[in-house]
């Protein structure tokens, strides 16, 4: 994560849970709030409800990689917590990435400078 740091402290998580805004979809819950640091801090939480440690670590890696590859689209200066729901178990990278981008759009924290995947396909069809 080039432009981001990890959130690791319990009191940081608790503060964002209390003061931040949240949206959810089928696979993920996202809390976010401004941090005035000029860079994002990202925390990922996967509970035991999702599965055993192997499953939880896989889901964590999928979320982290989805964020890392889409990091340039997110606005800067935010604290973001991403929580995996039980439905995330066994999902593909594309499904997790789509869920993450969906939540980013709901929070209005994604800059579409790079363009949307669907709009790129439409542009290519018009050529």
**What's the CATH number where 72 sits?**
3.30.230.10
Q: Which two tokens stand for residue 96?
A: 């997790």
Per-residue pLDDT of the chain (127 residues; tens, 9 = 90+): 667 899 999 999 999 999 999 999 999 999 999 998 989 999 999 999 999 999 999 999 999 999 999 999 999 999 999 999 999 999 999 999 999 999 999 999 998 755 454 433 333 334 3
C-alpha span between 1 and 23 (Å, rounded): 23
pTM value is 0.84
Q: Quote the domain boundaries for residue 80.
A: 4-126
Positive or negative CA dihedral for 10, 29, 3, 93?
Answer: positive
- Report the domain count for the chain: 1
A 10 A CB-CB count for 7 gives 20
């Amino acid at each position: 994560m080039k432009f981001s740091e990890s959130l690791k402290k319990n009191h940081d998580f608790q503060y964002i849970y209390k003061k931040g805004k949240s949206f959810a979809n089928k696979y993920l819950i996202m809390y976010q709030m401004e941090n005035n640091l000029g860079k994002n801090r990202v925390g990922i939480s996967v509970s035991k409800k999702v599965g055993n440690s192997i499953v939880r670590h896989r889901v964590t890696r999928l979320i982290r990689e989805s964020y890392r590859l889409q990091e340039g689209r997110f606005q800067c200066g935010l604290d973001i917590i991403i929580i995996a729901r039980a439905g995330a178990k066994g999902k593909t990278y594309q499904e997790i990435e789509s869920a993450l981008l969906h939540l980013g759009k709901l929070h209005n924290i994604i800059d579409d400078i790079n363009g949307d995947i669907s709009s790129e396909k439409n542009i290519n069809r018009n050529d």
